[in-house]
Amino acid sequence: MTFTSPFWLILAVPALVVIWLRPMPSRVLTVLRVVTVLLLLLAICGLCVMLPSRSGCVVMVADRSLSMPPGSEVQEAEAAELLYRSMGPSDELAVVSFGERTAVEQPPQSARFGGFVADVGAEASNLAEAVDRAVSLVPPERPGRIVVLSDGHATGGDVAAAAARAASAGIAIDYRAIERSGAGDLAVERIDAPSSVAAAEAFMISAWVHSPRPQDVSYELISGEHVLASGTRSLPAGRSRLVFRDKAGDAGARSYTLRVNAIGSNDDPVVENNRARFLVGVRGVKPVLCVGPTASSLPKLLEAGGLKVVRRSPEKLDWSLAELAAFAAVLVEDIPAGQIGTAGMETLAAWIGDAGGGLLLTGGRNAYGTGGYFKSALEGVLPVSMELRREHRKLSLAIVVALDRSGSMAMTVPGGRQKIELADLATCEVLNQLSGADEFGCLAVDSIAHEIVPLSDLKHKAEMERMILRIDSMGGGIFIDEALEKAAAMIAPATAGAKHIILFADAADSEQPGDYRTLLEKCTKAGITVSVIGLGTERDTDAALLKDVAACGGGQCMFTDNAQELPRLFAQDTFLVSRSTFVEEPTGVRATAGMAMLSSQPWGELPQVGGYNLCYLRPGANLAAVTRDEYQAPLVAAWQAGIGRVLCYTGEADGKYTGPIGTWPHAGEFFCSLSRWASAQDQGLGSDMLLTQQLRGGTARIELHLDSERTGTPFSALPQVTVLRALDGQKPTAERLPLAWTSADVLSIDVPLAGKETLLTSVDVPGVGHATLPPTCLPYSPEFALHADGEGRPTLERMARTTGGIERVNLTGIWNDLPRMPRQISLVPWLLLSSAVLLLAEVLQRRTGIFSLRWRRPASVRVAKPTPAAEPKRSAAAPLPKTRKQPAKLQPSPPAPVAEPAATPRDTVADALTQARNRATRRTQR
């Protein structure tokens, strides 16, 4: 036995003193009180017993990286189910999955595994971190074992060190190898190409291809949309070299893709390494990317001014880092935010702030607030804000949100939130856009409409938000007619100048439209507009219905398959309804002193503009031109966003609302000067410094070479490297790292790459300048690297051998191999229960004395011994008469009186209780 808190044994002293000083009225009560106090004292001290047990915890570590064979995740889930079925009642099962990251899919418990849900990233295999996490899940007081399901191709930390840590904790690691066959794998093993070349320079590309056997293969080298080389070639078994030549074009970055395929064979087990991607930077003056309407004449004006311009439509851009790195700046002319997309705007903002890119934003009704840039990812880097302040509101607004809360809204999206949670937040975003003079109401709709917030003013906005955030998903699909009818009935009595309904619905689960056109016709006559926000795409089954609802309701229809976008879309629709941010009247403009920072040419008086987007200057931004109307709004504003530059021209450069400035003789020079400021070229680090980048395996080495004949250190602090990482369709991430001295003249840093990500690195040398390196990437994910059969098994074997584990063919036997280990079993619950029972017994004894009756011995009766008769005295000389002996007749003597014991008060009470009990028994037997 042992105590978890033996310190509390000191309480025994005062407890005994109290019992001694205040004795109980009887021995029975004394015994009960002493035992109760003793049990409570043992419970406080945490009395435990140590018993040997094999019940413990098994942690299954599942590899979910790309190197695993197809269907491996299903096998791992089946293994978890098998372990669950074979576990004992006191056993626990935990599940850890790993890839780039490690996640605890299930903590130690006796429940069935529910499946893999965590996003661990499949581009790497961080087995060492997964083993460390599994060791931390095993309770220290219980036996444990780890079983690893993997192919053994590990990246990340040191697996041997992780195994040693598990061994020191006394935890064995078993394994089951799940491998993809490497036999017959045709692969592009390596690409040798220069990281950067000069403009118009010819260079050579070498590709090393591994063939498992002699065979004919086809190859194709593509750059952008052009096929540079293609053909067939007979390759021997082993490694062969393919050589290509190309000539660099304009400055920027060129992307290449090489594909090889076996002719007449479909048995390649890893087709992913048949395709390799690589980037080559081109040094020189980078052009400006102009994205806008094809009919715009602005690109021609810029070219006439001496700028290199590349015109692209937004549909032909993927807005990736590799693509943006080819340009000095991007000119976005009058296109809505939806054509760039959320991922594109996030990448564009990161490229500006962390890689030194430039942006010039112009536009008419399709730009700024009216174009959907309000609350977008790009808004944060703009020198102007797009909200319209309350004093500029012309009409009050009544708005009702009809929110889809059908069963499909319960689905979880990346990030862990449900769709309905994001829809609730989006509805709150609508509420936050309104002012005190507005009215708001909310319905939650499935097969019927439920009133969540009645239409009212915003005096109780906080309570409204709480009610909205409590909306949960339930029911079937959303009934469109029910939603529109109840929303129209709610908003009809409103007194606001503008009335608007936002219908949010699943684009693949909208039902029962009814006669919605007749209803919407009545709404239009009543001055009620209806917009639709559909969760899904325009290709979904109910998308056409939702688009028609918006068309008939006089509002806009927006779709998104990314639920994270809902708050922005709700806010955008509210913005357009409640605010008219585009001023259509011709407006005079005057230049300010800030124009001198953007252009060395004095422009004098600027012509009028035909219209502009009403915005407001952000603190710290440079105001270069301002309107002469009542708003005094910025027409030209600029600032430094991170290490990049952003300039906003709120008017329309070429279109319906350009105005007299479009026919101004100096219009071309004016816009060229704005574009040159936004696209300031990288000035480099001077002639006494050289910045290089080399890709070695999965690592990019950045080196800063200093002049060996320098007289001192040219900088006061260590140069900083800004590393921008991006995957297509995802938000880029940035990190700042210092360069470190590796020799007397070289500073360097190694930056690891993962999978399909693109790396864009820039270096800032204090007091010298800033330089951006060409983008780089891996040919393909390291998970698809060429491996021989069984190459990863030795890693698993060494790990098991270090910890005393085995190859686990039969998973169910792992429970029987858990080591016996003394298990601490707490007696505290039993001690507390016993003390409670004894306390009740003490109360019962005090009230009834039942234990005294049961233990009381009956009083003994003393019988007096008869006194013998007195015999006559005889003299000693007189002999006795000789007579025949006859039995003497004893005369009965009266019995001696029996002394009755004195009755005590306790006995009297007990006798009285006994008599009362006997009388009660006799009455019940009659």
d(CA 28, CA 772): 91
- What was the pLDDT predicted at 509? 80
Per-residue pLDDT of 446-503, as tens digits, reads 888 899 999 999 888 999 999 999 999 876 677 898 999 999 999 999 988 889 999 9
Q: What pTM was computed for the model?
A: 0.72
Residue 203 predicted with pLDDT over 90: yes
Element counts in the chain: helices (H) and strands (E):
20, 46
- What was the pLDDT predicted at 885? 43
Per-residue pLDDT of 16-53, as tens digits, reads 888 888 888 788 888 888 898 898 888 889 888 776 66
Residue 360: both structure tokens together: 């010039």
**Whole-number percent of the chain with pLDDT over 90:** 47
Instruction: Tell which wins on pLDDT, 473 or 392.
Output: 473
Highest mean pLDDT among 60-64, 311-315, 418-422, 536-540 belongs to 60-64
Integer CA distances (angstroms), 755 to 124, 570, 642, 752, 784, in order: 7, 35, 28, 10, 9
Residue 600 predicted with pLDDT over 50: yes
- When pLDDT is cut at 50, 70 and 90, the band that residue 577 belongs to is confident
Residue 219 predicted with pLDDT over 70: yes
Q: DSSP states of 434-453 as a string?
A: --TT-EEEEEEESSSEEEEE
Mean pLDDT computed over 751-762: 88
851, 845 Cβ separation under 8 angstroms? yes
Mean pLDDT computed over 662-686: 86
- What was the pLDDT predicted at 923? 53
- What was the pLDDT predicted at 359? 95
Per-residue pLDDT of 777-810, as tens digits, reads 999 988 888 887 778 899 999 999 999 999 998 9
- When pLDDT is cut at 50, 70 and 90, the band that residue 674 belongs to is very high
Per-residue pLDDT of 82-114, as tens digits, reads 999 999 888 999 999 999 899 999 999 999 998
**Tokens 């994205």 correspond to what residue?**
291
d(CA 103, CA 613): 47
Residue 62 predicted with pLDDT over 50: yes
Mean pLDDT computed over 261-276: 89
Cross-strand partners of 86: none
Q: What is the mean pLDDT of the chain?
A: 86
- What was the pLDDT predicted at 52? 67
Mean pLDDT computed over 388-398: 68
- When pLDDT is cut at 50, 70 and 90, the band that residue 853 belongs to is low
Per-residue pLDDT of 803-837, as tens digits, reads 999 999 899 999 988 887 666 678 888 889 998 99
- Which range is least confidently modeled, 304-318, 495-509, 597-611, 909-923? 909-923
Instruction: Tell which wins on pLDDT, 155 or 425.
Output: 425
Per-residue pLDDT of 405-427, as tens digits, reads 888 888 877 667 888 999 999 99
- What was the pLDDT predicted at 2? 79
Per-residue pLDDT of 861-907, as tens digits, reads 444 455 554 444 444 444 444 444 444 444 454 555 544 455 454 55
Instruction: Return the exposure string of 401-421: e unless at least 16 CB atoms fall within 10 Å of the residue's CB, then b.
Output: bbbbbbebbeeebeeeebbbb
State the DSSP H helix or E strand holding residue 799, giving kind and residue range, or none if neither.
helix 793-803
543-553 vs 480-491: helix axis angle to the nearest 10? 20
